[in-house]
A = this chain, B = another copy of it.
Amino acid sequence: MVNRDTGKKKISESTIRRLSLYYRALSLLEKENYETISSRELAKREKLTPAQVRKDLSFFGSFGTRGLGYPVSELKDRIAKILGINRIWNVAMIGVGNIGSALVSYKEFQKQGFAIKLIFDNDQRKIGSNHKGLIVSDIKEMPHLLLEHNIEMVVLAVPAIVAQYIVDEVVQAGIKAILNFAPINLKVPDDVFVRNENMSMELEYLSFAISNNYTPN
């Protein structure tokens, strides 16, 4: 599909997701000292069709040579650049309940360049305590601390009831990207990106799939 305003090809959410998968596959291939990989082989590793892989990668200009395949390191670096993970992002964790404190220790974040720099909570017993080398700050200090530490993304792991209030402050502080674990639809301005994570909805998908003998596509 082509965007009428920009003339640019439209990238779907599932393409972006597959780019993340290709990136992981290529990182592994690089460690295994592969120099090139065919679309067929990359497809096989990700359980996709070679046509899908070629189509996804064609969005971003020409890669690889017919017959030789894609150069592993170059392709990996270009995908990193496309995904914007060829740099470190400063992230704040808001809420250190069960999910929040698990995510502070989540190695995949650090590995992909998402560096948790600040953590916040409103619980007096948690404020000042140490989580993986970071001291929990009082959420009252959040507005100015987000600015002072150049935070660019926040992970929101707070109860639904306070989530919108906190997000309003986060938006006020100029944050444009929010990963939300609170089970609520947040209202944000158009230029702020929100991804909602709800593990229960994933189980509901499975429940639907089993109950209806569902086959996607």
Contact = CB atoms under 8 A, between A and B. Distances in A.
Interface in A180-214: 183, 185, 187, 193, 195, 197-212, 214
Interface stretch (A64-72, A106-114, A120-128, A133-141): A106-114
The contact size tier of chain A is 35 or more
Nearest to A100: B102
A200 B111 contact: yes
Interface of A is mostly: helix
Given A20-B201, A89-B203, A200-B106, A209 B112 contact: no
A55 interface: no
Nearest to A25: B185
Contact of A98 (B106, B193, B195, B216): B106
B206 A202 contact: no
A179 interface: yes
A54 interface: no
